[in-house]
Amino acid sequence: MRRASVSIPSNIVEGNARRTTKDYCNSVNIARGSAAELLYPIDLSSELELLDGPAFEGLNDHCERVVKQLQKLIQTMEGLLLKEQKE
C-alpha cells in the first residue's frame, strides 16, 4: 500500500520533468493505475475486518477522489495533446 501510494505523486513529478505532453500523459496514466491499485488492499482490509467502517470509508473516499482527479487531468492533457498534434 505504501509503495502504491508513493508511486502516485512520484509518477506525476517524473512525468512533469519529461519533455513531451505524451510522456507526461503516460506518467499520469501510470499514477492513475497506482491509485486504482491502492483501492484493492483498502477493500480487502475492510473485508478482513482489519479496518473499521469509518477508517475504510475515509481511505476509500480519498482514494476514489484521487482517481477521479487523475482521470480529469488525463482528459485535459489528452485534449492538449490532440491540439498539439493538429498544429
Query: What does each C-alpha distance from 68 to 14, 17, 18, 59 come to in angstroms?
Result: 20, 23, 23, 14
What confidence score (pLDDT) does residue 37 get? Answer: 93
Give the cell for residue 69.
482527479
- For residue 52, give the DSSP letter: -
CATH architecture of 2-86: Up-down Bundle (1.20)
What confidence score (pLDDT) does residue 86 get? Answer: 87
pLDDT > 80? residue 87: no
What confidence score (pLDDT) does residue 76 get? Answer: 94
Element (H, E) at 51: none
Q: What is the pLDDT of residues 2-56, one digit of tens each?
A: 999 999 999 999 999 998 999 999 999 999 999 999 999 999 999 999 999 999 9
Query: Per-domain residue ranges for the chain?
Result: 2-86
Give the cell for residue 53.
467502517
**SS3 of the chain: helix, strand, coil, percent, to 5:** 90, 0, 10
